[in-house]
Structure formats: C-alpha cells, structure tokens
A and B are shown apart, each in its own frame.
Chain A
Amino acid sequence: MRIFDPHIHMTSRTTDDYEAMHEAGVRAVVEPAFWLGQPRTSPASFIDYFDSLLGWEPFRAAQYGIAHHCALALNPKEANDPHCTPVLDHLPRYLLKDQVVAVGEIGYDSMTPAEDLALEHQLQLAADHGLPALVHTPHRDKLAGLRRTLDAVRASALPVERVLLDHLNETTVKEAKDSGSWLGFSVYPDTKMDEERMVAVIKTFGPEKVLVNSAADWGRSDPLKTRRVGDALLAAGFDEDDVDLVLWRNPVAFYGLSGRLSLDVTATDATHEGNSILRGGE
C-alpha cells in the first residue's frame, strides 16, 4: 500500500514516527504551516518555521525515504494577531519555492473579520502563484464555517476545483462535494473523523476527490491513521485500486496542480551509519 499523507505536521514528530510511517507505506507527505501551540510573537518566528519546512524537515524525511513538500501560509488562528499578520508581506517570496505545493492552511477559526481578510488575501496569493489552496474548515460552528468558506472561495480568483477543503465530516461533506472542491478528512484518535466513519463516508459519497490525512501534530494524534483507513477500506470490501485512489492518486493529483510535485526522493537508508540525524558519536 503506497500512502501520501496530504496533511501532517512532521516538525512536531520524531524519527520513530518517520520510521513507522515508512514501514506502513508512507512515501510522501505535505506539511502545511500551522499554529505551534505556543502563540508566535513576530513574523520572524514564521520565517524560521518556513525555512525549516524548506530545509531541515525535507532533509529529515529523505533519511526515511519519504518525499516532503510543504504548504505555506498565515494560519487562521494567528490571522487574528496583529503581531503575526505582517508575515503576509513575506509570503510572496516563499510561494516561489520549488517545494511549496500549496497555500495553506488557510481558512476560518473563529470567523472574525481579520480571518476574512487573511483568507481573501491568501486565496489571491494562491491564484497569483499558480498554487492550489489547503483550506481548513473550523472546528466550532462547522457547517456555518463551511458555507462562509465556500462563499469566500467563490468570491476569490481561485477556482474551487483548486481548493482542498479539510477537516470535513458527515455534516459538511455533502455541501463540500457539491461545490466541486477536493475533500479532505482528518482521522484522529478522539476527535475529527475515525476509521469506521471514514469508510461509511466513502461508501456514501465515493472515493473520487477524497483525501485522507492524519493531521498528526503535537497533540494527541497518530501518523499511521492513513494506513488504518486503508486497512479499514479493504476490510469493508473496497479494492486496492480504490484505496490507491484515496491514499495516493488523489493527493498526487491535487498537489500536482502546483506543477511542483517531485516524488523521486533520494533513496536513503534510515539506519545508515552516517545518518546525521544521529548527530554523530552515538
């Protein structure tokens, strides 16, 4: 089973995770820029973070035979903080980089006017840079949030077919699918979606344009949830081609809209003696 996790925050994960992910079949990931848990206090902190997503993190991933790309943006939560919003002025030069395959995560957290502005601005940046957008849908007041998100997308220069609406669930999937967007589902141990509900959603709505991610980060989450969903789909009677569509071909097609996806990771051996992840001397 080949797996592309289209939304995972590897910066917050360990090399054990990379090893287990490779073992489970993960060969590619996209890491969207997000909130760090601890609020940032200046754009400089974003810049170091973006540099890491374009430097150290793909290097780490390559040690484990995993291709790493990123999506960059000012996240919805920090769009409300005037200490952070100046990072929008730095985004254009970052969105030129080879490994940036989308603008994201953008979208709504609390649906404030500041979030409206950041979302509009960044949808335009995506259109200007020929990039698709990864759009987070809010956890609170979810259906209203989805509708407001779709209104913002429709008012923007970015076609909805170049948008991945993420964190969907049973209450939002139908309207999202009717919009023509790509459909993202985050599978978590406790919150968001779980494997069995994911199978039920795919039974009802089909596997077309569906992407499943672990959204694993610093919170309680599991980077192997993509594999669990693949196993659950097979157990429920889906065939390997369906699983490959959801776990590989759909994410490749969506991020491939950028024209920048490069999946030929330089083969490395995780146990290579000279692995610099070991820092040497160990």
Chain B
Amino acid sequence: MIHHRTSAPPTTHPALATPSDLRGHLNAHLADTRRAWLGGALDEAADHPGTHGPISVWELRLAEAGRRCGTEYADAVRVLILHAARADTDALTRVYRQGTADERRAVLHALPHLVPGPDALHLVEDALRTNDTRLVAAALGPYAARHLAPHHWRHAVLKCLFTGVPVDEIADLARRAHGDTELARMLGDYADERTAAGRPVPEDLYRVLALTAPPPADENGLDGKET
C-alpha cells in the first residue's frame, strides 16, 4: 500500500542508499534516453544550484522527473537532483512547500543526505501531520531517527499503527524504542482501547512493544529475542 520499495533491497532505498549507489542503480536500470536526461539534469543542477529568475532550473527538472524517468524511479531521481544542487534547508523547504505529494516525499528522503543538524525537522513534522501514508512513511527515515524529539517520535509510531504504515518503514526503530517505557505505556493503552472496542490489535504493535523492553538485567538470552 505504501509503495513497492518496501520489498526492494535496502541499498536502493532513496533515504538509505548513498547518492553514488542510487546513481549506479539508476544507470543500470534506466533506458538510454532516460539515463541521458538524468545525466543532463544532474550536471545542470551541479552547475547552477542557485535561483535564476522565479525558479531554479533544477526545480523544473525536479517537477518533471516522474514523466522523464518513470514513476518507479522518481524518488531516487529527485533525491539525486536535490543532492546535485546541494539544496540547503531553505531550498528544501521551498521545494517541499511548492511540491506535489511525490516531490514532498523526495525531499523527506533527501534530508539525511543534505541536512546535518535538526534544522529541517519542521518538514518531518509537517509530513507527520498528514494522513497520507506515503508521506508519513517517508518522514520516518534516518533523519527523523536522528533528530525527532521523543514525544513526536512516539506519536509517529502510534500513527503508523493507526494508519497501517508498516513499522518496518521506521528507521532505527529498535534503537529508539529500546527501553522507552512511555512508548510501551502508549502501546499498551492503545491495545486496551482496541480490545475494549472488540477490534483486533495490529500485529506490529506487539513487535514494537517487545522492542521497548529493556534487556533482562542478569538473565540475558532468556527472552531478549529483540535486543
């Protein structure tokens, strides 16, 4: 339901793979005309990263990436264009605000490649306020894992359970969930609420709940299956 990437090898995920790996993957899969278009777009973005007139040339390329390279490659292509243009937080914010849902998703995937600190968290928080599961999933990549504050992060996990985003989409889930007693309480309350309503509890909830458990102090190995 999110997109087909969940079943693809992790090295091609636009937020997790390095830009050079993404480029290699695209070069290996795009037809000649599409590969040539990508090469031109990346050179252009590298040579003219600034705004000339009302809109920079790489932003035009970003908008048309889907029809130029095929929708299945659009995320990776857009991440590479943003990377080639060395888009900073201001540029990423502009592109996100003026973008379609697809372009917004690409900006979220590009954050870990382009923004070292927490300056772009407002974009993650914006995406997490939506109910578009493609955006919610993209918001919870490595950038959110690194920078999103605990309260927001816990609500994002819960939102995944509410909206059917597989928790496998959440980057660094095990590390962030580990020992999080507040998250455990929220999950338990949600399970109670579902049970009281006679509704099934999502399988993913129990998986995350298990991750929140601290390792047994001196009984390591007895039930520490998720650590």
Q: Determine whether B164 belongs to the interface, using a CB cutoff of 8 Å to chain A.
A: yes
Which size bracket describes the interface of B in this complex? 20 to 34
> Separation in Å of the B135 CB from the closest CB of chain A?
8
| Contact B132 A281, beta carbon cutoff 8 Å | no
| Interface segment, one of A2-10, A91-99, A182-190, A230-238 | A91-99
> Which chain A residues in 40-56 approach chain B with CB under 8 Å?
51, 54-56
Could you tell me the distance in whole angstroms from the C-beta of B134 to the nearest C-beta in chain A? 7
Q: In the complex, are the beta carbons of A280 and B102 less than 8 A apart?
A: no
In the bound complex, residues from chain B placing their C-beta under 8 Å from that of A269 are 1
Instruction: Say yes or no: B133 contacts A99, CB within 8 Å.
Output: no
B98 at the interface (CB under 8 A from A): yes
B100 near A99 (CB under 8 angstroms)?
yes
Looking at chain A's contact residues, the main secondary structure is loop
* Among candidates A92, A262, A268, residue contacting B1 with C-beta atoms closer than 8 Å: A268
CB-defined contacts of B165 to chain A, threshold 8 Å: 274
Partner of A54, one of B60, B100, B131, B164: B100
The 8 A CB mask of B195-225 against A (1 = contact, 0 = none) is 0000010100000000000000000000000
- From B3, B54, B64, give the contact of A98 (CB < 8 A): B64
A51 to chain B, nearest CB (A): 8
Residues on A with beta carbons closer than 8 Å to the beta carbon of B227: none
| Binary flags per residue of A64-106, CB closer than 8 Å to B gives 1, else 0 | 0000000000000000000000000000110011110000000
A280 partner residues in chain B, CB cutoff 8 A: 159, 161-163
- For residue A266, CB closer than 8 A to chain B, the reply is yes
Contacts A274-B163, A276-B164, A281-B193 given; indicate if A59 touches B66 (C-beta within 8 A): no
> In chain B between 34 and 85, which residues have their CB closer than 8 angstroms to a CB of chain A?
54-55, 60, 63-67, 71, 74
Which residues from chain B sit less than 8 Å from chain A, CB to CB? 1, 3-4, 54-55, 60, 63-67, 71, 74, 98, 100-102, 104, 130-134, 136, 159, 161-165, 193, 200, 202
Q: Which residues of A contact B (CB under 8 A)?
A: 51, 54-56, 58-59, 92-93, 96-99, 259-260, 262, 264, 266, 268-269, 272-277, 279-281
Supply 8 further A-B pairs (C-beta < 8 A) apart from A98-B63, A98-B65, A266-B4.
A55-B132, A59-B132, A262-B67, A272-B164, A274-B164, A276-B136, A276-B162, A279-B162
Q: Which 6 A-B pairs have the closest CB atoms?
A: A274-B164, A280-B162, A276-B163, A98-B66, A55-B101, A96-B63
